[in-house]
Chain A
Amino acid sequence: MSEKFDEIPMAGNIIEPGNAIEYKTGGWRAERPIHIAEKCLWVKNGTCGLCWIYCPDNAIRLIEKDGKYIHEFDYDYCKGCKICYTECPTDAIVMESE
């Protein structure tokens, strides 16, 4: 962010695609989703995945490793929108104030 006017592309053009990943929006979050593994259908049997489907920021990772199902939030990009919390059918996601 220290670039001068002649060190940045003309007119604000973004000349490389796919660089939204450099913009970490986790700082916008007022409430943080917390995962309760015991209630989660993905962890239990690898089903559901509604939180992953609905997350608008690709900030949920559903991982399958050595026959185990792991659920992770990517807090670099989670804006705390609560959609996962609203959609979860088993209340396996709760929100906590940041």
Chain B
Amino acid sequence: MTAVKKIPKDDVVIEGLTGDAAIAHALKQCDVDVLAAYPITPQTIIVEDFQKFAADGEVKTKVIPVESEHSAMSACVGASAAGARVATATASAGLALMWEILYCAASMRMPIVLTIANRALSAPINIHNDHSDSYGARDSGFIQIYTQSCQEAYDTTIMAFKIAEDHDVLLPIMVCIDGFILSHNVERVEMLPDDAVADFLGIREPVQPLDPNNPITMGPLALTDYYFEFKEQQDRAIKNVPDIFKRVEAEFEKMTGRSYGMFETHKTEDADIIILTHSTAGGTAKVVADTLREQGEKVGVVRLRMFRPFPSEEIAEVVKNAKAVAVFEKCLSFGGAGNPLAMELRTALYHLAERPMVTDFVIGLGGRDVPPTTFVEGYEKTKEYLKKGEAPSYETLGVRK
């Protein structure tokens, strides 16, 4: 591998791109061998743009237009098993239809990059953003990274291959953007030269590929006698992710000057109340925090990026001295002890002798707008609950009730 060098400014191409287009460009530069996908809003442009690259001969990729998402992920598993660099994209119902094969991809240790434009699940049918789709897949064994900007989506997609294909990891990875809010909004994106991405990623080196000259069997039966041991392997593999992730980001930073971390902290050091959220809502939260700071409020933001594996210890370290953490999340876990993000945080904090209060606000389901006032409302409620010394396990904000 060649040493990573800082890319000169003149070699960087700057374009206005939607989140989807930014990801399509990243996939093009990552020299993907196989892309199998089925179109679904709001992910469609990723594959649409990529198909154009393929039709115009700009990529050597074998594009497989399959008949369903179940087949898309199945084709990806097959191609990845043969040693190819593989990507696909989906959202909402498409991800739901992939479900069975998501587990196969992770268990068979296939480093597939799956980009997701987060969208609500039916019914009623809804094409707009929330995180019910990928939160549902949290136990599938995929790595999950949520991004806030088109630039971050582009950068993360490139890094995703290097993380997934690392021999200490070998797991599939989801790169998530907010449906429409990011997937269809045009932002300034700095694109690396093709050869810089090629040098950064190199060619995938499969560990045990399918090879007619050296036949092996993949995904066979394992019952009571061996299954558990394979799950132990998988569990250890995902625990390797933070180290590999940091190494890959450090290398990427040398090249671009950009890195993002497993989560971003914003004015958290002396904060009494810390807002925890992710994706595009993180941007709104930071603006709200800045405004509240001007009014003398001691508030900060943790914008999560990596939901799987969840960086429990690191987040606990950042928020442990706050009086409260206000979680804002776009998912309801019906009948659960809490909703997915708050549940993770509460578990991460449980071992502390003195824990901050955790309030949980469910926001933005089905693309319901989350204006700054929603964050202010949650913040004010959290202050009230701190005074009272108790808070409800969660509540919905921004719904007519």
Contacts and interface: CB of A to CB of B under 8 A. Distances in A.
A13 interface: yes
Contacts of B208: 9-10, 13, 15
Interface stretch (B221-229, B249-257, B336-344, B368-376): B221-229
Contacts of A13: 208, 216-218, 220
Contact of B109 (A4, A11, A15, A17): A11
Contacts of A67: none
Nearest to B232: A5
Contacts of A9: 208
Contacts of B8: none
Given A5-B232, A5-B233, A6-B233, A12 B226 contact: yes
A3 interface: yes
A3 B222 CA distance: 14
A20 to B, nearest CB: 10
Interface string A1-39: 101111011111111110000000000000000000000
Nearest to B218: A13
Contacts of A4: 229
B229 A10 contact: no
A39 to B, nearest CB: 38
Given A5-B232, A5-B233, A6-B233, A12 B220 contact: yes
Majority-rule SS of B interface residues? loop
Interface string B223-263: 00111011011101000000000000000000000000000
Nearest to A20: B217
A10 B218 CA distance: 10
Majority-rule SS of A interface residues? loop
Contacts of A6: 233
B226 A8 contact: yes
A48 to B, nearest CB: 35
A1 B109 CA distance: 22
A12 B207 CA distance: 14
B389 interface: no
B108 A14 contact: no
B219 A12 contact: yes
B215 interface: yes
A4 B230 CA distance: 10
A15 B225 CA distance: 18
B233 A11 contact: yes
A11 B232 contact: no
B216 A14 contact: yes
A12 to B, nearest CB: 5
Interface of A: 1, 3-6, 8-17
Given A8-B226, A12-B107, 11 more contacts: A4-B229, A5-B236, A10-B109, A10-B233, A11-B108, A12-B226, A12-B227, A14-B220, A15-B216, A16-B216, A17-B217
In the A-B complex, the 7 residue pairs with the closest CB atoms: A14-B217, A5-B232, A5-B229, A17-B215, A11-B109, A12-B222, A15-B216
